[in-house]
Amino acid sequence: MKEYPNLKPIFASSTMHVWFDNKKVQFSNNIIYDYLDLRNNSSWKSFKHFLAEPKNYEQEITTNWNNLQMFLDQEKNMINAIDVNLNVQHCGIQFRDPFHPFVNWIVEFEGPGHFGANYYENIIEQEILEYPIYSQYIFDKSTRVMEVTSSISYEINPNRRIIEYFGQKGDILNGYEKISFSKGH
């Protein structure tokens, strides 16, 4: 965060909903980053105090929106071997308590889908996690997860519609993820 640099990320989570619409696969991702306000800024007593000024709030929203979009633009995402673009649709800032803000983004994208086998691939730069993460993918009722390739721990629930990912601080994201899923099993 540009103007209020005293936030430390402490946890990241996301929930990705996946469904079919005609001949497309739709993805909607709700991403949340939790922060700790270190409160060592001489100009502001807290991030919440800083955001009370509308221009500061708008600047933080714009900065967070643009930063995430920049990272998404650097990734390679494919649905059934076709490149797709991920786009930020919403960004908001809220508080769990006065010193624990969180930023929430909604990211959407779509690609070609069909009856039978489909897959989604995500390629990013390898990184070491600096804080724990939790993510889940929830597929529509007519879809089943067939196989997952990931460098972090995951579980597929018994009905094969939900994947949960668990990353701990220090885990290495190798930069490649693939989910194979079947429509109309």
- Confidence band, pLDDT 50/70/90 cuts, at residue 40: confident
Is 164 part of any domain?
A: yes
Q: Is residue 11 part of a domain?
A: yes
The answer to whether residue 20 scores a pLDDT higher than 90 is yes
Q: Could you tell me if residue 1 is inside a domain? A: no
Residue 65 forms part of a structural domain: yes
Is 80 exceeded by the pLDDT of residue 41? no
pLDDT at 1: 40
Taking the model in full, what pTM does it have?
Answer: 0.94
Residue that wins the pLDDT comparison between 3 and 37: 37
CA distance 21 to 179: 19
Which 3 state secondary structure label does DSSP give 176?
Answer: strand
| pLDDT given for residue 185 in this prediction | 62
- The percentage of the chain sitting over the pLDDT mark of 70, rounded to a whole number, equals 98
Is residue 48's pLDDT more than 90? Answer: yes
- Quote the mean pLDDT of the chain: 95
Range 95-102 average pLDDT: 96
Decide if pLDDT at 64 tops 80.
yes
Across residues 38-59, what is the average pLDDT? 90
Residue 120, pLDDT > 80, answer: yes
Domain hosting 71: range is 7-183
What's the number of domains the chain is made of?
Answer: 1
Higher-pLDDT residue of 22 and 131 is 131
In a domain, 2, yes or no: no
The verdict on residue 145 lying in a domain is yes
Confidence check: pLDDT of 53 > 80: yes
What pLDDT does residue 128 have?
96
CA dist 125 and 184 (Å) reads: 34
